[in-house]
Amino acid sequence: MIISHVERMNNECLPKAIFYSKLAIGKYHHRKAQMRFRDILKQNFTFYSIQPKAFETTIEDREQWRNIYCLGCKFFEDNRKDKEHQRWQIRKRRL
């Protein structure tokens, strides 16, 4: 995941500065709070069962991060397959 490389960069690097910044211009849903790319990532980590607060400390150790990320991907994929199978069962019962 590219975000692990960006997080380990020096603070002066442009990709890291962009990662921590907010957009000055652009459209967003007016009834929702404006979110940064980083906020979206943390929200998506919940799908992978990765603790967003532990992200910055865990990412420093590449091996540990790789293991957590791979387990999270497997967790997400298993849940997706289970939900798809449940939907399939419901469709099958209707016929």
10-63: pLDDT as tens digits: 878 877 777 777 656 666 666 777 777 777 788 888 888 888 887 778 888 889
For residue 69, pLDDT over 80 is answered with yes
As a whole number of Å, the end-to-end CA separation of the chain is: 42
What integer pLDDT is reported at residue 89 of this predicted model?
94
More confident residue, 67 or 21: 67
pLDDT for 74 beyond 90: yes
Annotated domain spans of the chain:
2-20+33-94
Query: Alpha-carbon dihedral of residues 50, 59, 38, 79, nearest 10 degrees?
Result: -20
Exposure of 42 by Cβ count < 10 A (0-12 exposed, 13-18 middle, 19+ buried)? Answer: middle
Q: Residue 25: its pLDDT value, please?
A: 63
The predicted model scores a pTM of 0.62
